[in-house]
Structure 1
Amino acid sequence: METFESLVRAEFAPKNTYLNTASSGLLPARTVTAMQRAVRLRAEGGSLDPLFEDVEAARAAFARLAGVPVHRVAVGPSVAAQTGLIAASLPAGAEVLTAEDDFTSVINQFHVRGDLKMRIVPLERLAESVRPGTALVAVSAAQSADGRVADLPALREAARTHGTRTYIDFSQAAGWLPIDADLYDFTVSTTFKWLLGPHGAAFLVVPEDFGGLTPLLAGWVAAEDPWASCYGPVAELAHSARRFDVSPALGVHSGLRASLELLEELGVDTVRAHDLALAERFRAGLARLGHEPQPAPDSAIVSVPGLGARQPALSAAGIQVSDRAGNLRASFHLYNTAQDVDRLLDALDG
């Protein structure tokens, strides 16, 4: 029986010390193989049916990770596009509550409406700031800039008390933080970070009744019978969340299917324990060096104020991290090791 370590070693062979999953995850070997197969099929003129089957298999795999029935999962190109659907569903004057400095893709579409009442509060005050009349609260489960994890149980309780809908972006959490999408009205996640997929896909989870969303981006793939709906207006939208699909990036989902299957084999709980142990090792090492990271316990993302300027030199030395608003951001995932952490600490010490 394969172990966690043997599975990971078989799939990943980075050429550097890669501690930048919060920007983009590494592709497993099986994912690269699946995408190459899809490209060859396109080049050789084969039937595209297997590629459409990969879309559905990826949708189903994400549904399992998210803990919801597959008919509640829509396929789209990005978080920004999915957020646009949520923003378009709100009536003029509706109040939307967001966290300070959250990632642009989960909040900007509400701002550009121009006719919504926007309230922005510190992440730590988000739950207590929900009030009667708040139509929607939108927030990332884990913050891109510094890894802070939102108090989602408190937010759910506040939303339930005041009849407020919730829209949670799991882009910086899905893959290392367990998801229970059924606890929220809407959830979204891109797939090229912790889910280890290629760029070009994002999943939106909607309620059974679709939550009042209008399928503004619907084309032929959003029909109940897509191949009978290629011309003229769609006569019958899909009875599932597929009505919100955007024409999928064929080949991308072939790779994504393989990536999600790997995560299922490894188990998100196991990945979480691995990632958090490495993040804690880094925090302990920073303390020995006299550095204090942003407070983000139980997060796979560690952000260190004042060290962002070190990023170019670290990159030149083969250590990939990010500079975010002057902070050095390191993010730890399943392919990272204690040796990776120690190499970064040694470089910072030097």
Structure 2
Amino acid sequence: MDFDFSRPQSGPMETFESLVRAEFAPKNTYLNTASNGLLPARAVTALHEAVRLRAEGRPLTPLYADVEAARASFARLAGVPAERVAAGASVAAHTGVIAASLPPGAEVLTAEDDFTSVLTPFHLRGDLKVRAVPLERIPESVRPGTALVAVSAAQSADGRLADLPALREAAREHGARTYVDFSQGAGWLPIDAGAYDYTATVCFKWLLGPHGAAFLVVPEDFGGLTPVLAGWVAGERPWDSCYGPVTELAHSARRFDLTHALFTFAGLRPALELVEELGPDAIRAHDLALAERFRAGLAGLGHEPVPAPGSAIVSVPGLGHRQGELSAAGIEVSDRAGNLRASFHLYNTPADVDRLLDVLGN
């Protein structure tokens, strides 16, 4: 990883770059965070310790503490109290809980070709009216009969951003609830989870955690959701809820928890701590500067990316077929819907962008 330390370093930038250099040492040009973020060194260390803990038969109490620390850390990043955050495993599972809460015949407004985890549970209900419109038409398409608007904040395929303020206003005007998937934005895109009825986020992309953790944010009154996936961890006193039906659900969003993947949360806790330590604003500025550098370089090569201003994801139509060639050259990007998708995060540098541009230009 080539960081440019030729210019004088001082203050916050020095802290940012030194922290990143201490945590990451990719062996290639990794521009694929929209698929998987890299694990920081502190998360790798924590995972090793969790495995040793289990292998040696020691008490797992620290791993359960990791779940609650990760929940609290994510809550701070999302701008909500930890009591509104449920810990699960996937966006699809969280979507399923929301889908199960809707009455028969309810209309769900979605974006065309959004990520499947945001859509499929609504379709599988079989008795809901699921309506899809182009992303940019979501706000104008909310109508009095709309029960729920469900959309990704940043589109997985091409990085386009939903107009969330306009969506929120339209939903409020027509009495619809809102459900936003922040999986492709959390870690670089500002999150105000309290502004929506429900949000879901996986943690293995820009939040730098292992696979197997996702958070659901719900209103204080739980927004009419029923914890249809509840198990023992959903009890107010989990260790007293192991046998027979849970008789007292957690008084917080923990009633929507799924059984915790303890190793995952062991690695996630320090990863989220790093995101907080670096600061979402600094990460955002870094990521977007690299994305803009790539967009400018593409213009010089005669390529026009999908318009997605303000996004850390850049998708280039017609170049997806070059993904294999780039991977062979040590540059990791994605082929999505025929587009070449590059995504930028804190461990990337201008040299990474320039290397991708050089290969694409040849």
Q: Does 1:303 align with 2:315?
A: yes
Q: Does 1:44 align with 2:56?
A: yes
Q: Which residue is 1:26 aligned to?
A: 38
Residue 133 (structure 1) shift: 1.1
Distance (whole Å) between structure 2 residues aligned to residue 214 and residue 349 of structure 1: 53
Residue 118 (structure 1) shift: 1.1
Q: Which residue is 2:275 aligned to?
A: 263
1:264-279 matches, cutoff 5 A: 264-279=276-291
Residue 178 (structure 1) shift: 1.0
Q: Which residue is 2:352 aligned to?
A: 340
Q: Which residue is 1:61 aligned to?
A: 73
Distance (whole Å) between structure 1 residues aligned to residue 230 and residue 130 of structure 2: 28
Distance (whole Å) between structure 2 residues aligned to residue 112 and residue 229 of structure 1: 31
Q: Which residue is 2:171 aligned to?
A: 159
1:127-276 matches, cutoff 5 A: 127-276=139-288
Q: Which residue is 1:119 aligned to?
A: 131
1:296-335 matches, cutoff 5 A: 296-335=308-347
Query: Could you report, residue by residue, the CA deviation over 1:115-166 in whole angstroms, capped at 9, with x for unpaired residues?
Result: 0011100000000000001000000000000000100000010011001100
Distance (whole Å) between structure 1 residues aligned to residue 130 and residue 54 of structure 2: 46
Distance (whole Å) between structure 1 residues aligned to residue 172 and residue 127 of structure 2: 25
Residue 229 (structure 1) shift: 1.1
Distance (whole Å) between structure 1 residues aligned to residue 167 and residue 229 of structure 2: 30
Q: Which residue is 1:17 aligned to?
A: 29
- % same residue: 80
Distance (whole Å) between structure 1 residues aligned to residue 335 and residue 231 of structure 2: 39
- Unaligned stretches of 5+ residues in structure 2: 1-10
- Unaligned stretches of 5+ residues in structure 1: none
- Amino acid paired to 2:304: E
Q: Which residue is 2:301 aligned to?
A: 289
- Amino acid paired to 1:42: R
Q: Does 1:103 align with 2:111?
A: no
Residue 235 (structure 1) shift: 1.1
Residue 98 (structure 1) shift: 0.1
SS of the equivalent of 2:262 reads: coil
Q: Which residue is 1:92 aligned to?
A: 104
Residue 251 (structure 1) shift: 1.3
Distance (whole Å) between structure 2 residues aligned to residue 217 and residue 326 of structure 1: 37
TM-score calculated relative to the size of structure 2: 0.96
Residue 89 (structure 1) shift: 0.3
Distance (whole Å) between structure 2 residues aligned to residue 64 and residue 298 of structure 1: 23
The ranges of structure 1 where at least 4 consecutive aligned residues each deviate by more than 2 angstroms after the TM superposition are none
Distance (whole Å) between structure 1 residues aligned to residue 36 and residue 179 of structure 2: 23
TM-score calculated relative to the size of structure 1: 0.99
Residue 84 (structure 1) shift: 0.2
SS of the equivalent of 1:264 reads: helix
Query: Could you report, residue by residue, the CA deviation over 1:48-92 in whole angstroms, capped at 9, with x for unpaired residues?
Result: 100000000000000000000000000111000010000000000
Distance (whole Å) between structure 2 residues aligned to residue 227 and residue 122 of structure 1: 47
Query: Could you report, residue by residue, the CA deviation over 1:31-59 in whole angstroms, capped at 9, with x for unpaired residues?
Result: 00001000000000010100000000000
